[in-house]
Amino acid sequence: MAAKKQIWGTGRRKTSVARVKLTPGTGKIIVNKRAFEVYFPLESQRVAAKQPLAITGNADKFDMLVLVKGGGPISQAGAVRMGCARALLKVDANLRPALKAEGVLTRDSRMKERKKYGQPGARKRFQFSKR
């Protein structure tokens, strides 16, 4: 482990942006000044956000302070996941193969498609009438 006191990582998903700070500690996670379990009430969101720590076996070695904004809860959990993975890479570059194999370092580039003018939605069209 590096001798640095705190390590920052940035993660993005859809319109969410998460800034994750890792500090040596006992595994405490704070998201936007709230408890991790309160901010992410669903188990699937919590598992996604903690996935990089679980993959590398560092769940009880680091405290995580997260500042996340934009998007919805699932998108924010994905952003936290990527930010945590990037911060772990700064701690130890040897973790890269394990994180890469799980796909947590890859930015999910899928975004909401914009609504087109003259139509009700991005892909939806008004009903065609031949006569």
Condensed to tens digits (0 to 9), the pLDDT of residues 6-15 reads 999 999 999 9
What Cα–Cα distance (Å) separates residue 83 from each residue in 4, 94, 110, 118? Answer: 17, 17, 17, 39
* Domain boundaries of the chain, sorted by first residue: 7-102
At 131 the pLDDT is: 86
| pLDDT per position as a tens digit, 29-45 | 999 999 999 999 999 99
Count each helix (H run) and each strand (E run) in the chain, helices first: 4, 5
| pLDDT per position as a tens digit, 56-96 | 999 999 999 999 999 999 999 999 999 999 999 999 999 99
Q: Tell me the C-alpha distance between 17 and 108, whole Å.
A: 12
CATH of domain 7-102: 3.30.230.10
